[in-house]
Amino acid sequence: MKPYSKKLREKVISLYRQGETTTSICAMSLGPHKDTIRLWIKKEGITRTPTVITNAIEKKVEAVYKSGATMSETASQCEISFGSVQKIIHKTGIARSRSGEDAWNWTGGRDMPDYKARKSAAYRDWRNAVLTRDGWACQQCGDVGQNKLHSHHILSFKKYQTERFNEKNGITLCGVCHRKLHTITKSIAS
C-alpha cells in the first residue's frame, strides 16, 4: 500500500464521519484508492453507510447520462459511485440499448437478400437435390458422410442469382474439400 500522509488520512476520515463524502468521491478527488480509504475507515471503527440517492441526485444523473456521457463520466460529474449510477440508470429505465442498431458491432442486420435466400425452402430443396444426385458422397475425395457434406455453388451464389437454385450449379463436397476449394479460389483471386 502506498504511504499517505497522516493529515490526508485524518481529512478523509473527518469528511466521511460528517457524511459529506463517499469512499468513491474521496478516491476521485483526493487520490488514495477507495479500498485504501475503506481500510482506514474500518480501522477507525466507522461503519460504512450506503449512499443515499435523493431525487435531486437521480435527476442530475438522468440529465448527465441523457446528454451522452458514459456511466463513468456520469459518476465523476455527479460525484457518486459507478454502482450508484448503474442502479439509477436501470431503475429509471434510461439505460442505452446494447443490441440491434445500438450495438457496437452492428453491421446492418440479417435482412440481407442473400441471407434470406439461404434460409428459404427453395435453397433446402436445391441442397437436397444436389446431395441426392451425387449419391450423398464428396465428388472430390469420395468421402461418404465422414465429414459434414456441403452443397457447393459452382457459379457464385452472390454473383449469379439466377443460377442459385439450378441443380446443375451444385456439387457435393465434404467440409475438408470445400475449405480447400475456397482456399485455392481465394489465393487465385488475390
Tell me how far apart the alpha carbons of residues 179 and 189 are, in angstroms, rounded to a whole number.
Answer: 15
Contact 88, 61 (CB under 8 A): yes
The segment with the largest mean pLDDT, out of 31-35, 56-60, 151-155, 156-160, is 151-155
- For residues 59 and 37, membership in a common domain is answered with no
Full residue range of the structural domain in which residue 14 is found: 6-43
Q: Is 110 helix (H, G, I), strand (E, B) or coil?
A: coil
The mean pLDDT value for 148-170 works out to: 91
- For residues 78 and 129, membership in a common domain is answered with no
- For residues 133 and 68, membership in a common domain is answered with no
Q: What is the pLDDT of residue 37?
A: 76
pLDDT at 158 over 90: no
- Total domain count, the chain: 3
Of 55-64, 72-81, 181-190, the one with minimum mean pLDDT is 181-190
pLDDT at 1 over 60: no
Does residue 105 fall inside a structural domain? no
Does residue 1 fall inside a structural domain? no
Give per-residue pLDDT as tens, 101-153. Answer: 766 667 776 657 778 888 889 999 999 999 999 999 999 888 887 568 999 99
- For residues 39 and 69, membership in a common domain is answered with no
Which of 35, 69, 99 terminates a domain? The answer is: 99
Does residue 90 fall inside a structural domain? yes
Does residue 107 fall inside a structural domain? no
- For residues 141 and 86, membership in a common domain is answered with no
Does residue 161 fall inside a structural domain? yes
- For residues 135 and 181, membership in a common domain is answered with yes
Rg, C-alpha atoms of the chain: 31
- For residues 92 and 123, membership in a common domain is answered with no
**The three grid cell numbers given for residue 141, joined into one nine-digit string:** 475425395
**The three grid cell numbers given for residue 34, joined into one nine-digit string:** 477507495
Tell me how far apart the alpha carbons of residues 127 and 117 are, in angstroms, rounded to a whole number.
Answer: 12
pLDDT at 27 over 90: no
Give per-residue pLDDT as tens, 13-26. Answer: 777 776 656 666 66
Does residue 49 fall inside a structural domain? no
- For residues 123 and 179, membership in a common domain is answered with yes
Average pLDDT of the chain to the nearest whole number: 80
- For residues 170 and 125, membership in a common domain is answered with yes
Does residue 143 fall inside a structural domain? yes
